Amino acid sequence: MKKLCYTLAGALLVGSLTLNGAGQSAKATQSSVNASSAATVTVARWAADHWANDDLVWAKNEGVLSKIGAESRDPESAVSRVEFVMMTIAAMKLTPESTIVKQTGLEMFREQNSLLKEASEDLKSHSIACDESLEMAMNSGLISKNDYINGSYRPDDNITRYDATVIVSRMAGLAYPASQNDGANLKYRDAVADGQKGTVSELTNRALLFGYDDGYVRADKDLTLAEACALLKRAVDYTEQGIDTSIQATLYSDNKYDYVEHKYHIDKNSKILSVETNLPAQIIDDVIYIPFLAYLVTNDWSYSSGQQLSVTLDYTRKVFQIGGDSVIECRVSNQDITKKYTLFKECRMMRGELMMPVYDIKKDTYEHNVYNEITKSHDTLLIAEYNSETKQLYLCRGSGDTNIGG
């Protein structure tokens, strides 16, 4: 698997990950893979005309079924709570190396203590704790202490359709939108509990969750293995949509201030930096997303007033619960004053990595600004330029004090 690289090699050319082949969407390509695989792969315990055959074959080929030893299990059998978590880990290709801190190498993003300490006793004594799966699940937010009942996760209980959607909402970065969804547009014939409406509605609206042919969603019904595979495949297709491997990115070290336009621009005579990331760019609704690069928004800012501010970023370990506001926060400190600012909104998730929006093609610009109450000015955190004809994306971190406004 190739990687999106910001590099000095060639004519400022950046290699990109060919995840699904150039010129094809993740969903379209995956469908063709499923169609060809279904004809050649023989999987026990279900017929080729099973409604979820393509999803089951995909799950087998991607190691989702083998993660829980279910390659020959009846597709209509139930799935336990911990089994669905394990299937999600496999579907996302989640590893201990897939966190943003591993991409950037910045220790500032690594928490002092793992959330493993918050694991319930029935999880710590379960087979999921035999390797790094439990710690990955806890640190990523796939499992939260909010899931406990009387301090227990109940790992071997059958997972319900609703509880599976909660995990998928975290996986796909939809937990925040789900929390803001009042479920008013639900059209199912059966009643959905008030506490479930947001998540069920959000996943239904995004075509990740479907009801049954009789119009019932049955949120509290046990999830079957076939339904689990279908739900996870849709979630993977959703997170991997819009991949564009032709986008080439160049990362510059410095910016320059334009006193006529009163704004910062990328200094293309500055040093070109080499940073490697694990995933390609995406274009969704005319916005370009790239894997999060901490360097772009990390700076030791010195202000014209002479005060030196300490700037740090808070990257939540519960990475799957991002979405909407409060995605990445910046803490700016000056002596005993600390302010927190939201840097990026509407980030996406792909394979356990944060995808940050860096350029709006329709607006033909993308600056990330935040008003700093300490310095009474707007801080430009990221500068991006894009040539739609050549697919060249230029990036540079901003300056601490733009002296604009305030």
**Residue ranges of domains in the chain:** 23-237, 243-397
Q: How far apart are the first and last CA of the chain?
A: 47
**SS3 for 310?**
strand
Helix axes 194-205, 161-171, angle to 10 degrees: 60
pLDDT tens per residue, the chain (406 residues)?
Answer: 333 433 322 222 233 322 222 233 333 333 333 333 344 344 457 888 999 999 999 999 999 999 999 999 999 999 999 999 999 999 998 887 765 334 333 333 444 446 678 899 999 999 999 988 888 888 777 888 889 999 999 999 999 999 999 999 888 878 777 888 999 999 999 999 999 999 999 999 999 999 999 999 999 999 999 999 999 999 999 999 999 999 988 988 888 888 887 777 888 999 998 776 668 899 999 999 888 765 665 544 333 333 333 334 333 333 333 333 333 444 444 444 555 444 555 677 788 777 888 899 988 776 666 565 556 666 676 788 999 999 999 988 776 543 322 2
pTM (predicted TM-score) = 0.76
Cα–Cα distance for residue pair 147/352, rounded to 1 Å: 20
Nearest to 385 by CA among 398, 362, 367, 401: 367
Q: Which among 240, 242, 232, 173 is positioned nearest to 202, based on CA atoms?
A: 173
| Cα dihedral value 313, 357, 25, 39, nearest 10 | 20
CA distances from 140 to 68, 83, 132, 300, 383 (A): 19, 16, 12, 28, 29
